[in-house]
């Protein structure tokens, strides 16, 4: 049974995704930004009220919200870098939350890391020549951290959490291509759909909400 607060989050997601569709903007851009600032607080309220969210999950959602707000202006380098740092911290909070109570061997850890390393190298190579020089180090650092979060989800071994981590990696890759290579009509909707699914699976899964 979905709780009322989880239903509120899902309803806000639906409204926001409709506003992200590639129609004439007008004032819809204002409402798109407005609804975006409500998404993570709604999910945080749901996991705190109806789940068993620890401080790390709450912190991950807070920094996700802060990143959402800062990336309302991704064309401004200070906002973009601060947003990148906020999401990096959020991923850093998810990593120990995912690894908590996880039993794994060194061999399993290496086997899980190898395909992620290949994936990360391919993603960075596809982006590198399009990145401004000063953006290459922070993007590389961010990529390492989000892949570390994905590795932690794989080590945890729960399908919901792995799906959440994979959705986060996909969302951020689409966003990077949108910002540095080419914006497509469906970019905003694709980024937000995968992002909102990622946060729901990770936070909801760790908090026992789903």
CB 28 within 8 A of CB 18: no
What pLDDT was estimated at residue 25? Answer: 60
pTM for this one? 0.92
User: Can you give the residue ranges of every domain in the chain?
Assistant: 4-207
**DSSP one-letter string for 20-85:** HSSS--TTHHHHHHHHHHHHHHHHHHHHHHHS---HHHHHHHHHHHHHHHHTT-TTSHHHHHHHHH
The packing angle between helices 55-70 and 28-50, to 10°, is 180
pLDDT score of 27: 65
The reported pLDDT for the residue numbered 185 is 83
pLDDT at residue 199, rounded to an integer: 97
pLDDT in tens, the chain (210 residues): 778 899 999 999 999 999 998 776 666 778 888 999 999 999 999 999 877 878 999 999 999 999 999 998 877 878 888 999 999 999 999 999 999 877 777 888 899 999 999 999 999 999 999 988 888 998 999 999 999 999 999 999 899 999 999 999 999 999 999 988 888 888 889 999 999 999 999 999 998 877
Q: With DSSP H G I counted as helix, E B as strand and the rest as coil, what are the percentages for the chain, rounded to 5? A: 80, 0, 20
* pLDDT digits 0-9 by tens, 87-138: 999 999 999 999 987 777 788 889 999 999 999 999 999 999 998 888 899 8
Query: Do the beta carbons of residue 128 and residue 143 sit within 8 Å?
Result: no
């Amino acid at each position: 049974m979905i709780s009322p607060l989880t239903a509120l989050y899902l309803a806000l997601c639906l409204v926001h995704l409709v506003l992200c569709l590639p129609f004439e903007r007008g004032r819809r851009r204002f409402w798109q930004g407005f609804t975006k600032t409500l998404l993570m607080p709604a999910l945080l309220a749901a996991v705190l009220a109806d789940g068993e969210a620890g401080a790390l999950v709450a912190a991950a959602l807070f920094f996700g919200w802060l990143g959402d707000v800062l990336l309302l202006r991704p064309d401004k380098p200070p906002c973009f870098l601060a947003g990148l740092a906020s999401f990096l911290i959020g991923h850093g909070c998810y990593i120990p939350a995912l690894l908590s109570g996880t039993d794994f061997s060194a061999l399993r850890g290496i086997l899980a890391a190898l395909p992620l390393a290949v994936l990360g190298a391919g993603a960075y190579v596809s982006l590198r020549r399009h990145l401004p020089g000063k953006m290459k180090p922070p993007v590389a650092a961010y990529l390492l951290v989000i892949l570390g979060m994905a590795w932690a989800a794989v080590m945890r071994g729960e399908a919901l959490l792995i799906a959440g981590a994979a959705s986060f990696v996909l969302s951020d890759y689409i966003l990077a291509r949108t910002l540095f290579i080419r914006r497509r009509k469906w970019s905003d909707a694709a980024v937000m759909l995968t992002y909102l699914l990622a946060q729901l699976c990770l936070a909801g899964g760790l908090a026992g909400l789903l």
